[in-house]
């Protein structure tokens, strides 16, 4: 089911779609016109280069942090080709979508955007429309049948092919869907100079029965430790002080390296190597799997100064029976044991999670076990999801799907517990002084600043600091989501 990956070896992946004539009536008519006039795509692109010195791109990103990372790399790559960023789709010569497929809601949001791009293409046929990411990967060539105005489509392992497509004179739409490289090897355009993503692996070898990721991002392939350390050193030299290690299953990192001829390494060793780099003040990572949350990683949290006091540990369900049907490979007890071990080593650690409600066959009793686990753990925050069947996943074919009203009702009950416990947990910060990395103005009150503490809570505060600075903030109040406070001017004076 997964996208085939050949370790180490790059694979030629250019797949030309069927000849245009084979692609249905409407597209044939449009393409025949296009080919006969100067607005055929290849020549239009050449013409545009002549008129506009700097072609402009716009990228819309859906989904997870891995997609945010991939979009930064897309932007970096486009800028190295001479493109500049347009403030909106309407001003762009190249409209790109980096899509997500993990839940149904992401699909529908993207399809609405695509409708807008279609209208744009009708007004200006020389605009190039590209669709990348997991949704593109999940439908592959079908995209050109359903959306004939799309010029180029590519999966998450094929972002670099976009450059090849844009610099070629090809007149046909093209799709690229086989794993060939890490987007992390491409140049980045960072949203903030002081924060950077480090893609440590792609893909996932787990087989969670609800999840589309193994089929869109393929099997787990890690980047060699030396490559990652060199990249982190480069980031630090460029002014990045907070680095987030990214992968679908980060703590499984390293298992494939020896087989591919690279020196062995574990996730805990990678954490240590990055902690040793001068200039990196904070390390975060997402997401680990509870199965691989071993003591070496937990110890690293206690021992490494730059590793933050926060773990995002996806639970999915508090019922061992449901976890088994989800193929999560741990039980309720094993999960609770991991939480206990984390708190034994780092008592103040913040724990957040992902939970799915309404998985097929989830009974009221199963759901109550999720509620009771959330009461017991007391998460600092959680992403909660209503189960949605995904194409070609095992759970989509399970017979006992849960009615939508039941899912919604359970979600409301879950959110109440999550928020109440998060609010209670957050009170431990009131009265303390926390180190905050300033990100910019507060979103709700621009006279205030916004940043994050090491526990990954958003902190809104009054103060004088600039983005990228680390400041001490006295916390005066806390809600389930955010902390509020004042910059400690005493600490600022002391630091001078
Ligand atoms: N339905 C609902 N939520 C899902 N997730 C993954 N697949 C599905 C699905 N089919 C959630 C999981 C995962 C998070 C990124 O998205 O909780 O951890
Ligand atoms: Fe999907 Fe499970 Fe892999 Fe996470 S661990 S990406 S939920 S298959």
Q: What is the CATH number of the domain that holds 104?
A: 3.40.50.12160
Residue 456 lies in a domain: yes
Residues 270-300: b if buried by 16+ CB within 10 A, e if exposed: bbebbbebeebbbbbbbbbbbbbbeeebbeb
Residues 140-172: b if buried by 16+ CB within 10 A, e if exposed: beebbeebbbbbbbbbbbbbbbbeebbeeebeb
Residue 417 lies in a domain: no
Residue owning the nearest CA to atom 2 of ligand 2: 208
Sheet holding 94-99, edge to edge: 84-85, 56-61, 94-99, 128-133, 152-154, 174-176
Is residue 198 located within the same domain as residue 122?
A: no
Q: Give, in order, the Cα–Cα distances in Å from 356 to each of 208, 332, 359, 385.
A: 12, 15, 7, 5
Compute, in angstroms, the gap from residue 100 CA to the centroid of ligand 1. 11
Is residue 221 located within the same domain as residue 280?
A: yes
Q: Work out the widest C-alpha separation in the chain, in whole angstroms.
A: 73
Q: State both tokens at 486.
A: 């004042």
List phi, psi (to 5°) of 264.
-60, 150
Domain end (from 260, 289, 308) = 308
Name the DSSP letter for residue 269.
H
Q: Which of 137-141, 233-237, 327-331, 344-348 has the lowest mean pLDDT?
A: 137-141
Is residue 223 located within the same domain as residue 168?
A: no
Domain with 475, as residue range(s), is 430-495
Cβ of 134 less than 6 Å from ligand 1? no
Residue owning the nearest CA to atom 4 of ligand 2: 248
Which atom of ligand 1 is found nearest the CA of 396?
10
On the question of pLDDT at 46 being above 60, the answer is no
Is residue 135 located within the same domain as residue 195?
A: no
**If you write DSSP's letter for every residue of 178-233 in order, what string do you get?**
S----GGGS----SSTTEEEEE-EE------TT--HHHHH-S-EEPPHHHHHHHHH
Average confidence (pLDDT) over 154-167: 88
Residue 319 lies in a domain: no
Compute, in angstroms, the gap from residue 39 CA to the centroid of ligand 1. 42
Residue 240 lies in a domain: yes
Compute, in angstroms, the gap from residue 374 CA to the centroid of ligand 1. 18
According to the per-residue pLDDT averaged within each range, which of 22-26, 66-70, 339-343 is highest?
A: 339-343
How does pLDDT run across 66-78, given as a tens digit for each residue?
Answer: 899 999 999 999 9
Cβ of 289 less than 6 Å from ligand 1? no
CATH label of the domain that carries residue 443: 2.40.50.140
Cβ of 359 less than 6 Å from ligand 1? no
Is residue 219 located within the same domain as residue 283?
A: yes
Which atom of ligand 1 is found nearest the CA of 354?
17
How many domains, the chain?
A: 3
Strand stretches in 92-251, DSSP E: 94-99, 128-133, 152-154, 174-176, 195-199, 201-202, 221-222, 242-246
Domain end (from 176, 200, 221) = 176
pLDDT of residue 489: 79
pLDDT of residue 52: 52
Domain end (from 149, 176, 203) = 176
List phi, psi (to 5°) of 117.
-65, -35
How does pLDDT run across 191-244, given as a tens digit for each residue?
Answer: 899 999 999 999 999 999 999 988 888 899 999 999 999 999 999 999 999 999
Compute, in angstroms, the gap from residue 332 CA to the centroid of ligand 2. 17
Average confidence (pLDDT) over 123-131: 94
Is residue 51 located within the same domain as residue 141?
A: yes
How does pLDDT run across 348-391, given as a tens digit for each residue?
Answer: 999 999 999 999 999 999 999 999 999 999 999 999 999 999 98
Compute, in angstroms, the gap from residue 356 CA to the centroid of ligand 1. 6
Best residue among 102, 204, 214, 325 to mutate for probing ligand 2, ranked by most atoms within 8 Å of CB:
204
Torsion 346-349-355-361 (CA) sign: positive
| C-alpha radius of gyration, the chain, whole number | 24
Q: pLDDT tier at 495 (50, 70, 90 boundaries)?
A: low
Residues forming a β-bridge with 433: 474
CA-nearest of 339, 312, 340, 316 to 328 is 316
Which atom of ligand 2 is found nearest the CA of 328?
2
Q: pLDDT tier at 470 (50, 70, 90 boundaries)?
A: very high
C-alpha to C-alpha distance for 230 and 484, rounded to whole angstroms? 37
Higher pLDDT: 182 or 152? It is 152
* Residue ranges in 124-152 assigned as alpha helix (H): 134-139, 142-146
Residue 412 lies in a domain: no
Q: Quick one: which ligand is closest to 359's CA? A: 1
List phi, psi (to 5°) of 293.
-80, 80
Is residue 197 located within the same domain as residue 168?
A: no
Compute, in angstroms, the gap from residue 328 CA to the centroid of ligand 2. 9
Residues with Cβ within 6 A of ligand 2? 204, 206, 208, 211, 213-214, 248-249, 289
CA-nearest of 125, 4, 135 to 60 is 135
Average confidence (pLDDT) over 273-280: 98
Is residue 149 located within the same domain as residue 251?
A: no
Residue owning the nearest CA to atom 14 of ligand 1: 354
On the question of pLDDT at 36 being above 90, the answer is no
Is residue 159 located within the same domain as residue 215?
A: no
Cβ of 211 less than 6 Å from ligand 1? yes
Cβ of 388 less than 6 Å from ligand 1? yes
Residue 5 lies in a domain: no
How does pLDDT run across 56-65, given as a tens digit for each residue?
Answer: 999 999 988 8
CATH label of the domain that carries residue 195: 3.30.750.210
pLDDT of residue 33: 27
- Residue 461 near residue 451, CB atoms below 8 Å: yes
Cβ of 249 less than 6 Å from ligand 1? no
Evaluate the omega torsion of the peptide bond into residue 445 and state whether it is cis, within 30 degrees of 0: no
Cβ of 384 less than 6 Å from ligand 1? no
Compute, in angstroms, the gap from residue 316 CA to the centroid of ligand 1. 8
Residue 185 lies in a domain: no
Is residue 39 located within the same domain as residue 145?
A: yes
Residue 58 lies in a domain: yes
C-alpha to C-alpha distance for 488 and 491, rounded to whole angstroms? 5
Q: Which of 139-143, 261-265, 291-295, 395-399 has the lowest mean pLDDT?
A: 139-143
Q: pLDDT tier at 496 (50, 70, 90 boundaries)?
A: low
Q: pLDDT tier at 188 (50, 70, 90 boundaries)?
A: confident
Q: State both tokens at 127.
A: 């605009």
Cβ of 284 less than 6 Å from ligand 1? no
Best residue among 211, 246, 315, 393 to mutate for probing ligand 1, ranked by most atoms within 8 Å of CB:
211
Compute, in angstroms, the gap from residue 141 CA to the centroid of ligand 1. 25
Q: pLDDT tier at 285 (50, 70, 90 boundaries)?
A: very high
Q: State both tokens at 176.
A: 């690229």
Is residue 24 located within the same domain as residue 167?
A: yes
Q: Give, in order, the Cα–Cα distances in Å from 205 to each of 2, 50, 250.
A: 9, 47, 11
Compute, in angstroms, the gap from residue 295 CA to the centroid of ligand 2. 21
On the question of pLDDT at 39 being above 90, the answer is no
SS3 464: coil
Q: Quick one: which ligand is closest to 206's CA? A: 2
Strand stretches in 247-335, DSSP E: 282-286, 310-312
- Residue 356 near residue 387, CB atoms below 8 Å: yes
Is residue 149 located within the same domain as residue 28?
A: yes
On the question of pLDDT at 31 being above 60, the answer is no
Cβ of 394 less than 6 Å from ligand 1? no
Q: pLDDT tier at 407 (50, 70, 90 boundaries)?
A: very high
């Amino acid at each position: 089911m997964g996208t085939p990956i050949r370790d180490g070896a790059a694979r030629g992946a250019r797949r030309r779609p069927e000849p245009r004539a084979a692609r249905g009536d409407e597209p044939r008519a449009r393409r025949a016109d296009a080919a006969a006039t100067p607005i055929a795509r290849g020549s239009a692109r050449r013409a545009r280069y002549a008129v506009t010195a700097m072609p402009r791109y716009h990228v819309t990103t859906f989904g997870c942090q891995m997609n945010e990372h991939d979009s930064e790399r897309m932007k970096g790559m486009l800028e190295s080709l001479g493109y500049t960023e347009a403030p909106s789709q309407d001003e762009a010569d190249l409209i790109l979508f980096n899509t997500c497929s993990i839940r149904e809601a992401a699909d529908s949001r993207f399809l609405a955007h695509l409708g807008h791009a279609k209208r744009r293409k009708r007004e200006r046929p020389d605009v190039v429309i590209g669709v990348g990411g997991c949704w593109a990967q999940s439908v592959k060539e079908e995209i050109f049948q359903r959306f004939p105005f799309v010029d180029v489509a590519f999966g998450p392992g094929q972002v670099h092919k976009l450059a090849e497509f844009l610099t070629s004179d090809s007149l046909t739409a093209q799709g690229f869907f086989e794993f060939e490289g890490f987007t992390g090897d491409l140049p980045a355009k960072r949203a903030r100079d002081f924060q950077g993503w480090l893609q440590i692996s792609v893909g996932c070898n787990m087989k969670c029965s609800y999840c589309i990721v193994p089929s869109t991002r393929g099997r787990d392939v890690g980047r060699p430790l030396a490559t990652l350390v060199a990249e982190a050193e480069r980031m630090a030299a460029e002014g990045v002080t907070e680095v987030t290690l990214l992968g679908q299953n980060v703590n499984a990192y390293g298992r494939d390296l020896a087989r591919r001829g690279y020196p062995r390494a574990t996730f805990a060793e990678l954490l240590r190597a990055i902690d040793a780099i001068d200039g990196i003040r904070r390390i975060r990572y997402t997401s680990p799997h509870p199965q691989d949350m071993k003591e070496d990683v937990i110890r690293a949290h206690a021992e490494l100064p730059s590793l933050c006091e926060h773990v995002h540990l996806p639970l999915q369900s508090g019922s061992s029976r449901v976890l088994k049907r989800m193929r999560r490979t741990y039980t309720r007890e094993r999960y609770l044991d991991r939480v206990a071990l984390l708190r034994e080593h780092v008592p103040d650690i913040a724990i957040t999670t992902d939970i799915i409600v309404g998985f097929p066959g989830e009974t009221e009793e199963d759901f109550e076990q999720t509620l009771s686990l959330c009461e017991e753990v007391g998460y600092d925050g959680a992403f909660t999801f209503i189960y949605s069947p995904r194409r070609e996943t095992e759970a989509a074919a399970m017979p006992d799907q849960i009615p939508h009203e039941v899912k919604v009702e359970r979600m409301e009950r879950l959110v109440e517990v999550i928020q109440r416990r998060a609010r209670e947990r957050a009170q431990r910060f009131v009265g303390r002084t926390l180190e905050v990395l300033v990100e910019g103005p507060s979103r709700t009150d621009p006279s205030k600043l916004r940043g994050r503490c090491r526990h990954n809570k958003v902190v809104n505060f009054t103060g004088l600091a600039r983005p990228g600075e680390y400041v001490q903030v006295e916390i005066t109040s806390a809600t389930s989501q955010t902390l509020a406070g004042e910059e400690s001017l005493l600490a600022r004076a002391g630091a001078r």
